[in-house]
Amino acid sequence: MGKPTGFLEKPRGDRGYAPVAERLKHWNEFVQPLPEDEVRDQGSRCMDCGIPFCHNGCPVNNQIPDWNDLVYHGEWRQAYDNLHSTNNFPEFTGRICPAPCEESCTLNLNTFVRPVTIKTIECAIVDKGRENGWLVPQPSEKKTGKRIAVVGSGPAGMACAQQLARVGHDVTLFEKADRIGGLLRYGIPDFKMEKHLIDDRVAQMEAEGVTMKTGVHVGKDVSAKQLAADFDAVVLSGGAENPRNLDVPGRELNGVHFAMEFLPQQNKRNAGDSLPATQDILANGKHVVVVGGGDTGSDCIGTSTRQGAVHVKQLEIVPPSPVDEDKPVIWPDWPRKERISSSQQEVDATFGEKVQYTAETAWLEGDADGNVKKLHGHMVEWGNKGPQKVDGTEFTMDAELVLLAMGFVGPSQDDVLADLGINTVISRDSLGRIPEAPADYKTNLPNVFTAGDMRRGQSLVVWAIREGRQCAHAVDEFLMGESVLPR
Ligand SMILES: Cc1cc2nc3c(=O)[nH]c(=O)nc-3n(C[C@H](O)[C@H](O)[C@H](O)COP(=O)(O)OP(=O)(O)OC[C@H]3O[C@@H](n4cnc5c(N)ncnc54)[C@H](O)[C@@H]3O)c2cc1C
Ligand code: SF4
């Protein structure tokens, strides 16, 4: 595996970012790939550590030491095939996965050595394959005659549909939006992941026999019950779209929006769509406050800065995470520690602003026309009773656009589930999710399955891909009695 002494000879090296001033001028990706020889050197840092933990840290169980070794030896084609044996879309994860694998790397046990740059190597493998024309359809040689409807075309639905088509089933992917991709398409900004990557996979999947039906809202345009009757199996992968609301006076003012009302618009503009001016939610010329310090909030501040906001501030109610984790206690698990996103760096460089932690929004003030103008808040202390206001810490800030990015509380497909009778049989947990089932992905209806954020709550792209793949195995086994698809 790699080079046993590689990590002693080579320090960790990783992709950098284009300078802030340059990258704020456009909507494209700004991560700068490493040269090929440097990627191979980084692959050599993967020592033969005996029991690797990285592939368990990776939700799709990528065979990381194997492809690190292949890259080190310049065997790119083999690395490409190996990578695709566990991950349908490594060009997505190679760009936007938070890389739990790197936290699990044995080299990460030692603060001074630092883990292998696994995510960068993954991205380099698939990007080389794309350059070399290796991304080609893999249609099944024989057809089973079984028909499957997959509802929701995010990474879970895409991975599930692709796996099922590759073993010969006739798969139809239903999507209520006008394009395939779910949050990859209309949540995640283009500067984190350009959308031609999804288009290429859609073309591949169509050539493999997947029928794409966009603009079809299951539960409205076609009944879910009808789908369950017409198809041999149905997979529900509609995501977890219900946003957590901010229940404060002034919430109803103009200019207060959920993140997912704001972010998709910019992706549509970038794709060349024109929106009616009355619907435009734009940050240019405005003081923007984003409530929520997580990834969605980060995407809002990065988008607002590029749109030309006058000022951008991000508020977070919880305290900051520690700068470093206690490795001997936490490794190889995912640590809670400070992570500063590229968008937070941009806001710091542009406006001299950092995330304000332990800040709670109290109320929003508007003008005579009902437009939001100011945000009033205070600081909190966390104790057994949750966040408690600290007297004398009240603050007011200009806020002409307030974006709510406080997480998601579950799926929004109550109509679909009720229509199918799933709601009445399976109760939801406190976050509104269908309870974690054993990995059979089944609902109470024999031919209806569920996967991705809809099943597990708002999560990560890499988890959605894993769920889609495992769900495909479950569906195939249900239809055929056995399955060659990986679990
Ligand atoms: C702003 C934002 C940024 C994020 N950034 C990252 C990141 O950087 N890295 C990362 O790993 N994860 C990120 N995530 C999380 C990640 O995007 C999700 O976990 C992942 O997309 C879930 O995949 P999914 O397929 O389960 O659902 P989704 O991607 O939500 O897709 C569900 C699809 O189902 C469709 N649908 C729903 N109901 C119906 C219906 N009744 N009929 C037809 N279609 C329907 C929806 O329109 C949608 O297209 C981010 C999330 C958000 C909101
Ligand atoms: S998918 Fe994510 S966790 Fe898995 S190898 Fe890639 S970056 Fe690491």
CA nearest to 122, candidates 156, 79, 163? 79
pLDDT tens per residue, range 107-165:
999 888 899 999 999 999 999 999 999 999 999 999 999 999 999 999 999 999 999 99
Chain-centre distance for alpha carbon 8: 34
Say if ligand 1 is within 6 A of residue 411 CB.
no
**In the CATH hierarchy, which fold is given to the domain comprising 256-404?**
FAD/NAD(P)-binding domain (3.50.50)
> Alpha-carbon distance 475 to 116, whole Å?
36
> Cis omega (within 30 of 0) on the bond before 332?
yes
Nearest-atom number in ligand 1 for the CA of 177 is 47
Contact 315, 291 (CB under 8 A): yes
Homologous superfamily (CATH) of 147-241+409-480 is: FAD/NAD(P)-binding domain (3.50.50.60)
Strand order in the sheet with 311-315: 256-258, 401-404, 287-291, 311-315
Band the pLDDT of 438: cuts 50, 70, 90: low
Rounded CA Rg of the chain: 23
Contact 71, 121 (CB under 8 A): yes
Q: How many DSSP H helices and E strands does the chain contain?
A: 21, 15
CA of 184 to the centre of ligand 1 (A): 6
CA nearest to 283, candidates 350, 237, 207? 350
CA nearest to 148, candidates 239, 60, 237? 237
Single-letter amino acid, residue 217: H
The residue contributing the CA closest to ligand 2 atom 6 is 119
Q: pTM for the full model?
A: 0.96
Q: Please give the pLDDT value at position 60.
A: 97
Band the pLDDT of 226: cuts 50, 70, 90: very high
CATH classification for the domain delimited by 6-131, as one of 1.10.1060.10, 2.60.40.1840, 3.40.50.300, 3.30.67.10: 1.10.1060.10
The boundaries of every CATH 1.10.1060.10 domain in the chain are 6-131
Report which bound ligand comes closest to the CA of 192. 1
Tell me the pairing of strands 287-291 and 401-404: parallel
Contact 120, 14 (CB under 8 A): yes
> Alpha-carbon distance 123 to 267, whole Å?
22
CA angle 87, 454, 435 (to 5 degrees): 110
CA of 39 to the centre of ligand 2 (A): 16
Name the 3-class secondary structure at 381. strand
Band the pLDDT of 277: cuts 50, 70, 90: confident
Q: Work out the mean pLDDT of the chain and round it to a whole number.
A: 94
CA of 278 to the centre of ligand 2 (A): 41
Report which bound ligand comes closest to the CA of 412. 1
The boundaries of every CATH 3.50.50.60 domain in the chain are 147-241+409-480, 256-404
Ramachandran region, residue 431 (left: φ > 0; alpha: ψ -120 to 50; beta: rest) = alpha
Is 313's pLDDT higher than 90?
yes
> Alpha-carbon distance 350 to 59, whole Å?
36
